[in-house]
Amino acid sequence: MGFFGLNTNLLQQLTFYGSYHRNKWNQAIHFVFVPLILWSFAVWFCYTGPLFHVDLPSLAARILPDSIARSGSTPSPPPPPSSATRAPLKHLF
């Protein structure tokens, strides 16, 4: 035994883990119930609401440069690529 009654021998722990997870019943249970548990957490978190309030204007004023934060606008997006740089899509139709 090791610290606080826990097994600190890594080789023994990995051997047990490998044998336990090769069991077909254990694999079937994990295959069915792990996704269900994750789905239930996702549904539960959808109904909890936000964990904390974020004031976006003050956050933007702290993060963005002064010129953007004061103007209230975002930089313009880059222009679309010209037709010469687009790949032809004739082979798809």
Task: Give the domain ranges of the chain.
Answer: 3-67
Q: How far apart are CA 52 and CA 61, in angstroms?
A: 19
Contacts with 9 (C-beta within 8 Å, 6 or more apart), sequence order: 2
Q: Could you report the per-residue pLDDT of 13-60, keeping only the tens digit for each?
A: 899 889 888 999 999 999 999 999 999 999 988 888 777 777 877 777
Tokens standing for residue 54: 């974020």
Does this model's pTM top 0.85? My answer is no
Q: Could you report the per-residue pLDDT of 7-24, keeping only the tens digit for each?
A: 788 888 899 889 888 999
